[in-house]
Amino acid sequence: MALPKYIFLFLLVSIRAFSALGQTGISVTPPRVYFEINPGESRREQITVTNVSKSHRLDLAISLNDWLYSREGDNIIVPADTLPTSSAAWVSFEGDSYFSLAPGERKDIGVVVNRPTSASTEDVYTTMLFVTQLNPIDDIDSKGAQIKVAIRSGIKLFVRSNRPRNVMLNIHNGYYDTEHKRLGIEFINEGNVWANGDIKTELLNNRTGEIRRLENTVFYTMPKDDRLQFIPLPENLPIGLYTATVILDAGNNTIEAAEIEFEHE
């Protein structure tokens, strides 16, 4: 008798909760933890890990990685202590980093950051904390194949000095991508803190005077990030000469705007 073929499915999530095919899931809250401490200081925060499964015990492990945003804003995960902005070496956990949770059970975990006195060259230091399932669950995919499902949930840790926040965004280029029929905005985070918000875009048809507001696009940046954000145009946008007004809104009256004139054909 032939043995069944298994596909091992490893699912990475960085949201509060995930349920894979209704069988297994981990909730890790909050999704981001902020430590405002000066060099030589320490601080403790708490995260909560919950087994949202109704029938499966989960064996879990906590680990750390470094991360950064790509130019297009995607998360790039690299080994711990790789980046100059890494705070992985400063992080410790209260209790065992390996533990099990029964269905519906939750566990509070203390996360401690001890910032050394020598760490003062970067505005923000970061780490990604992962909670990984070690015992994959048997399941079946949409095509009926047998698979093994495991979950890894990540949350971001941010460390910065306790000093005034300076949020500063600078748009240095805007253009129309004729090949993909979209707008491109290039901007730099010149402040001393992470900045995120909405990109608001308004199109003016210069021939008809019609104004069209596009759906907001969310952006995330870290200090010194040089970002490229694409803004898709509506599929049914009429041919014409347009002026696009693009606004980066990071909240707290932090707004940067640019105009792009383009011919849509």
The Cα–Cα gap between 49 and 38 comes to 28
Residue 114: partners with Cβ closer than 8 Å, 6 or more residues away: 42, 90, 92
DSSP assigned state of 1: -
Query: Does 258 lie in the same domain as 195?
Result: yes
Residue 4 located in a structural domain: no
Residue 189 lies in domain: 169-264
What is the reported pLDDT for 44? 97
What is the reported pLDDT for 134? 93
Count CB neighbours of 12 within 10 A: 14
Residue 183 located in a structural domain: yes
Query: Does 144 lie in the same domain as 27?
Result: yes
The Cα–Cα gap between 205 and 15 comes to 39
The Cα–Cα gap between 229 and 219 comes to 8
Q: What angle do CA 130, 136, 138 make, to 5 degrees?
A: 145
Query: Does 100 lie in the same domain as 184?
Result: no
What is the reported pLDDT for 41? 95
Query: Does 145 lie in the same domain as 92?
Result: yes
Query: Does 76 lie in the same domain as 175?
Result: no
Question: What's the whole-model pTM score?
Answer: 0.84
- Given 160, 178, 210, the domain boundary residue is 160
Give me the CATH number covering residue 230.
2.60.40.10
| pLDDT tens-place values along the chain, 265 residues long | 343 333 334 444 433 334 344 456 889 999 999 999 999 999 999 999 999 988 889 999 999 999 999 999 999 999 999 999 999 999 999 988 999 999 999 999 999 999 999 867 899 999 999 999 998 887 776 777 787 888 899 999 999 999 999 999 999 999 999 999 999 999 999 999 999 999 999 999 999 999 999 999 999 999 999 999 999 999 889 999 999 999 999 988 889 999 999 999 8
Query: Does 123 lie in the same domain as 47?
Result: yes
Query: Does 99 lie in the same domain as 210?
Result: no
Residue 24: partners with Cβ closer than 8 Å, 6 or more residues away: 53, 56, 58, 133, 137, 149, 150, 151
What are 144's two structure tokens? 């009926």
DSSP assigned state of 3: P
Query: Does 184 lie in the same domain as 138?
Result: no
Residues forming beta bridges with residue 20, ordered by sequence position: 24
Strand-pair category, 195-205 with 42-51: unpaired
Query: Does 53 lie in the same domain as 129?
Result: yes
What is the reported pLDDT for 141? 67
Number of domains observed in the structure of the chain: 2
Query: Does 121 lie in the same domain as 200?
Result: no
Note the maximum CA span of the chain.
72
What is the reported pLDDT for 10? 42
Residue 2 located in a structural domain: no
